[in-house]
Amino acid sequence: MELFFFSSTGNLQTLSKKVFGLLKVGNFQNIDSINVYQGNYSSCSFLGMKMKLEYNSYDYEEDYNFMITIQGDFTSDMVLNEKNIKLFADIVISILNSNTDITFAREVNDKLIIYKPDSADL
């Protein structure tokens, strides 16, 4: 499982359209659930993986109000390993980093790696 954290003043529906739109995922779902913070999240499944965008309830809540989780989709027939998921997560963070002005944090071995927008380097 891969985790990304970020902050935004936007609401979940607006951010979902932006994030999934940048990734060219047109079939994401907004789901109401009492099992997540704020009662709803957005999700899509493709390439045997599930990507979920939700309000942050995992960790680092003081700094980041949203999180993205990427993990294998257990309802898929595709067999994936953690290396596949990590490689896909690398692609996702690269696309989002290049096309937004959002700073992302990625949890790796219980530490955060910060990804500043590519435009911040200009």
pLDDT tens digits, residue range 102-114?
999 998 888 899 9
| CATH of residue 55 | 3.30.310
- Burial (CB < 10 A; 0-12, 13-18, 19+), residue 8, is middle
Range of the domain at 57: 2-121
Q: How many domains does the chain have?
A: 1
Cβ neighbours of residue 40 closer than 8 Å, sequence gap 6 or more: 12, 30, 31, 32, 33, 54
pLDDT at 121: 43
Please tell me the pTM assigned to this model.
0.86
What is the maximum span of the chain, computed from C-alpha positions, in angstroms? Answer: 43
For helices 12-22 and 82-99, the axis angle rounded to 10 degrees is 100
pLDDT band at 79 (very low <50, low <70, confident <90, very high): confident
